[in-house]
Amino acid sequence: MATEWEDWERKVLDTFLDGEELIRIPAKRKKRDVVLRWLQQQFETGIEYPEAEVNRILRRHHHDCATLRRELFESGYLDRQGGGGVYWRPEA
């Protein structure tokens, strides 16, 4: 049985996603985090992704891959080496 939190997250995803496409990036941080966690699941732990591959994966869901990549990194959902270029999903 789903918790209230899980129900709320599902409602957020249903609001902002049309299938696998992100309709728009949520303005409110709490809702944006739900979407970012969903996007994080598109990346496997233990694999390093070149920036071009991150962009390709994110572009499947929304045209503004640069904003999503930055948000994922700044929120800690993806890590990167030094000045960028290589990204990975951190261990839980």
pLDDT at 2: 76
| Residue 44 token pair | 């496997």
Count how many Cα atoms sit within 13 Å of the Cα of residue 69 in the half-sphere of its side chain.
Answer: 22
Q: What is the pTM of this model?
A: 0.91
Q: Of 56, 54, 57, nearest to 73 (Cα)?
A: 54
Contacts of 35 (CB under 8 A, 6+ apart): 12, 13, 16, 17, 22, 25, 26
Backbone angles phi, psi at 73, to 5 degrees: -70, -50
Domain boundaries, the chain: 4-88
Per-residue pLDDT averaged across 4-26, rounded? 96
pLDDT at 24 over 80: yes
Sign of CA dihedral 25, 22, 70, 63: negative
pLDDT digits (tens, 9 = 90+) for 46-66: 999 999 999 999 999 999 999
